[in-house]
Amino acid sequence: MIRLGMAVIVGSSNSLSQCYHARMRALYTLTLLLLTPILLVRSARKYRGLHWGVRQRLGFNRPRIDRPIWIHAASVGEVRAIAPIANDLIKQGPVLITTTTPTGRDQVVQLCPDTTHAFLPYDLPWAMGAWMRALKPRCLLLVETELWPNLIHAAKVHEIPAVLVNGRLSKRSARGYARMGSLARNMMASLDGCLVQSADHATAFTRLGAHPLVIGNIKFDTQLPPSTLPSGRWIVAASTHPGEEAACLKAFAKISQTETNLKLLIVPRHPERFDDVVSEAEKHGEVGRASRNQWAPAIVVGDAMGQLSGWLNGAEVAFIGGTLNRRGSQSPIEAALGGAVIVAGPSRYNFAEAYALLASGSLVDVADEPELAGALNEALTKDGDKNAALISASRGATARTLAYLTSEILRS
């Protein structure tokens, strides 16, 4: 009788838990549904003149591909990271790569020409379910932070293994997921694999109910193209956000008074800001545009997509965008691999482990905008080859990820 009673209690508890989770997911879906018109308007404005896949974002125009390995990578950085894995997996069958941005699509076309691209639908259950039924993917691979509750739930319902690849979780994101309660915990528990970059990330994922495996950071395996910068001493301001361009321009105006043959290349994070950044730069004199092959001026705006890696490979110093305006930093890894001395502000939570590694190399900290000129001057006296050596010594995650996927996920 006691065992029977306990079974009834446990069964009731599980039913209540499932009911509560279903309600949380329904609330999440309703919220997203109400926000969808706003998201559509924002995207239409942001990507004006570009193909951004509005019909696919709404769940229509499913790609015609049968039983693919489905990889979802949000945008440029994630696509560049997963490209070697995607190109290797083609040997095992068709590969579909979804992104959420036109720039991500362009990177898929450039780096993974033998794969199929589509734009990921908004995370609405009917759209995700329809795509799962139509595509019948062999597996779903989610890159870094692309965790969508309805997408992962649809994979589970259709018995499609879902794996997080190169997973990372900043403290800020971990707090956000914790506030989502059972919605996040059930999503994490539904992952069939959770391959993460470091032990710290593993701890964060474990607290949220996932079962992580530390593989390392596949971005450390990046192979940079040859330098595409003209000769000269280049400071590259990489993937800058609003406000950071003005700070870099002011700092460059100061240090170029004493340093000879210095040139500044500013590469905004988002292409829709190219013209605005050119206008800001023109306050400081003649400005070239990389898209027009105008490299003679001391200040050039990198207004061409997909070129940053080649530019970073020729930089003497790289300022990393997103570190002065609390965006958590863009990746410093490619700049370090290129042998640039890294200059970064205090906001680094998206790439904390990479910065911890580079702390023993050539990394110059800058607390705020007024200190930037001094930090750039200091960086010009350092040797960036230490950074390249540190990153190179940490390679191997790509091979480990492929080995895991081949042996644990794609066996049949």
Residues recognised as catalytic: 78
Measured over the CA atoms of residue 262, residue 306, residue 270 and residue 196, the dihedral's sign is negative
Q: How far apart are CA 148 and CA 159, in angstroms?
A: 16
Cα 33 → chain centroid: 25
Asked if residues 245 and 277 have their Cβ atoms less than 8 Å apart, the reply is yes
Beta strands 317-320 and 341-344 are parallel
| The 3-state secondary structure of the chain, one letter per residue | CHHHHHHHHHHHHHHHHHHHHHHHHHHHHHHHHHHHHHHHHHHHHHCCCCCCCHHHHCCCCCCCCCCCEEEECCCHHHHHHHHHHHHHHHHHCCEEEEECCHHHHHHHHHHCCCCEEEECCCCCHHHHHHHHHHHCCCEEEEECCCCCHHHHHHHHHCCCCEEEEEECCCHHHHHHHHHCCHHHHHHHHCCCEEEECCHHHHHHHHHCCCCCEECCCHHHHCCCCCCCCCCCEEEEEEEECCCHHHHHHHHHHHHCCCCCCEEEEEEECCHHHHHHHHHHHHHHCCEEEHHHCCCCCCEEECCCCCCHHHHHCCCCEEEECCCCCCCCCCCCHHHHHCCCEEEECCCCHHHHHHHHHHCCCCEEECCCHHHHHHHHHHHCCCCCHHHHHHHHCCCCHHHHHHHHHHHHHCCC
Task: Name residue, tokens 């989610």.
Answer: 142
